[in-house]
């Protein structure tokens, strides 16, 4: 099987710069895998893609970001309607503050908490991800210059922080920080504090695309249990700064890097990744601002539903707060053409939303949905 990857949403380190998070305008990160079963499958996909380009007189490469402009609405809808399906695509969606929140929980509490109390872990990571930017800016600044003094200062910050979303009796992060400071031996936590976010090159901190890549490969292997590593030919779009690191971390696989200008399969993955990232970010923003039932947002909500249903929610891994995860599944149902528009209101949304949240918590209890670096490497062998 040939698997072609591309991503959207500012690849690389998720951190802070000049006192601001470096992803403010791109809160989500999306990675898409295009699955090619055999040579005939590849031939048919490329034929279909080139027919679509000819129909719209597209000469050369068109980027996914170009498809998201108003002038290209017709091309976009046709691409989604006629190209997306539930057999050729697998993808992962990351909320970046949720990602930082999960790294922080692993650093503070260890991975045993993540895997032995998965539902509680997911709840706490979700709640923490809604705290203000200053919390995550402080975390990023701490890990970029980690010393015993900066760690102690960060633990004090965690202890005294005025939490708005973390419940007092469910704040394991604050409880741990309080205990660590009282113990007075925080140096014992220093060596392992960022093992889930650091790599050999100390400039590489919180590299979200590597984490996403490992998890997406794992999802593909779970869906194809007989597929062996040596049977997977991985092609990733060019990412010069991180290519060496990615190759080292995935040394059990054959992976090459290609320029989308010269590889149409990478172009396809780029188109899907950009569309998904932009549409899903808008979908989540609309709900967080409580504008989901406004007529001016109907187009993007229906487009999000179409994408979710064409690719299939079973082919999408949501590494986002549980509230946003539930919203996506509600949108997939409520914004289809067959769903009555007069029922698009909170009266019908609320019970559906609660149903999906309950189902996800049950799923989380039965299967760890996160993957730290060490666990991914173990499972992928």
Kindly report whether the global pTM for this prediction surpasses the value 0.85: yes
- Mean pLDDT, residues 130-150: 92
Q: Percentage of the chain with pLDDT > 70?
A: 93
Residue 341 has pLDDT above 80, yes or no: yes
Choice between 210 and 84, residue whose per-residue pLDDT is larger: 84
Long-range residue pairs from 374-377, CB within 8 A, at least 24 positions apart, any chain: 374/111, 374/195, 374/196, 375/111, 375/115, 376/211, 376/214, 376/215, 376/218, 377/214, 377/249
Residues paired with 3 in a beta bridge: 35, 234
| Of the listed ranges 42-56, 65-79, 191-205, 287-301, the one predicted with least confidence | 191-205
SS3 per residue for the chain: CEEEEEEECCCCECCEECCEECCCCCCEEEEEEEEECCHHHHHHHHHHHHHHHHHCCCCCCCCHHHHCCHHHHHHHHHHHHHHCCCCCEEEEEEEHHHHHHHHHHHHHHCHHHHHHCHHHHHHHHHHHCCCCHHHHHHHHHHHHCCCHHHHHHHHHHHHHCCCCCCCHHHCHHHHHHHHHHHHCCCHHHHCCCCCCCECCCCCCECEHHHHHHHHHHHHHHHHCCCCCHHHCEEEEECCCCCHHHHHHHCCCCEEEEECHHHCHHHHHHHHHHHHHHHHHHHHHHHHHCCCCCCHHHHHHHHHHHHHHHHHCHHHEEEECCHHHHHHHHHHHHHCCCCCCHHHCCHHHHHHHHHHHHHHHHHHHHHCCCCCCHHHHHHHCC
Query: What per-residue confidence (pLDDT) applies to 240?
Result: 78
Pick from 173, 182, 171, 113: nearest CA to 139: 173
Pick from 327, 255, 303, 330: nearest CA to 4: 255
Residue 199: pLDDT band with limits 50, 70, 90:
low
CB-based burial label for 270 (10 Å; 0-12, 13-18, 19+): buried
- Mean pLDDT, residues 20-33: 94
Q: Which residues contact 95 (CB under 8 A, 6 or more apart)?
A: 27, 28, 129, 284, 319, 320, 321, 324
Domain ranges of the chain: 103-190
Residue 244: pLDDT band with limits 50, 70, 90:
confident
If one counts every other C-beta atom within 10 angstroms of the C-beta of residue 353, the result is 18
Residue 363: pLDDT band with limits 50, 70, 90:
confident
C-beta of residue 237 within 8 angstroms of C-beta of residue 5: yes
Query: What per-residue confidence (pLDDT) applies to 198?
Result: 53
Residue 67 has pLDDT above 70, yes or no: yes
Q: Rounded distance, CA 247 to CA 7, Å?
A: 17
Query: What per-residue confidence (pLDDT) applies to 191?
Result: 67
Residue 174 has pLDDT above 90, yes or no: yes
| Of the listed ranges 57-71, 135-149, 179-193, 255-269, the one predicted with least confidence | 179-193
Residue given tokens 């590849």 in the structure block: 42
Residue 322 has pLDDT above 80, yes or no: yes
* φ/ψ of residue 168, rounded to 5: -55, -35
Query: What per-residue confidence (pLDDT) applies to 336?
Result: 96
Q: Which residues contact 362 (CB under 8 A, 6 or more apart)?
A: none
Q: Rounded distance, CA 332 to CA 310, Å?
A: 10
């Amino acid at each position: 099987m040939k698997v072609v990857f591309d991503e959207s949403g500012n690849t690389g380190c998720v951190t802070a710069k000049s006192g601001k998070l470096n992803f403010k305008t791109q809160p989500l990160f999306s990675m898409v895998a295009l699955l090619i079963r055999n040579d005939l499958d590849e031939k048919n996909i490329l034929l279909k893609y080139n027919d679509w380009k000819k129909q719209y007189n597209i000469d050369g490469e068109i980027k996914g970001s170009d498809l998201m402009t108003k002038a290209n609405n017709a091309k976009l809808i046709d691409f989604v309607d006629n190209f997306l399906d539930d057999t050729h695509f697998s993808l992962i969606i990351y909320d970046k503050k949720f990602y930082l929140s999960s790294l922080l929980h692993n650093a503070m509490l260890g991975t045993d908490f993540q895997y032995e109390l998965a539902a509680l872990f997911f709840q706490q990571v979700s709640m923490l991800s809604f705290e203000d930017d200053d919390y995550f800016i402080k975390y990023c600044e701490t890990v970029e210059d980690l010393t015993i003094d900066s760690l102690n200062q960060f633990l004090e910050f965690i202890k005294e922080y005025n939490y708005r979303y973390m419940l007092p009796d469910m704040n394991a992060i604050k409880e741990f920080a309080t205990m660590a400071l009282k113990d007075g031996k925080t140096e014992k936590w220093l060596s392992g504090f960022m093992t889930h976010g650091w790599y050999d090159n100390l400039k590489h901190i919180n590299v979200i695309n590597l984490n996403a890549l490992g998890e997406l490969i794992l999802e593909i292997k779970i869906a194809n249990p007989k597929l062996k590593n040596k049977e997977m030919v991985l092609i990733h779009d060019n990412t010069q700064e991180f290519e060496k690191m990615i190759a080292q971390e995935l040394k059990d696989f054959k992976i090459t890097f290609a320029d989308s200008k010269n590889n149409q399969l990478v172009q396809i993955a780029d188109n899907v990744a950009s569309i998904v990232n932009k549409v899903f970010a808008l979908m989540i923003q609309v709900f967080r601002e409580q504008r989901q039932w406004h007529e001016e947002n109907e187009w993007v909500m229906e487009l999000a539903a179409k994408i979710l249903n064409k690719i299939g929610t079973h082919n999408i891994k949501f590494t986002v707060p549980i509230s946003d995860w539930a919203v996506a599944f509600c949108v997939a149902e409520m914004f289809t053409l067959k769903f009555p528009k007069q029922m698009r209101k909170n009266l019908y949304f609320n019970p559906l939303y609660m149903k999906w949240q309950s189902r996800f918590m049950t799923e989380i209890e039965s299967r760890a949905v996160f993957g730290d670096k060490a666990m991914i490497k173990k499972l992928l062998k």
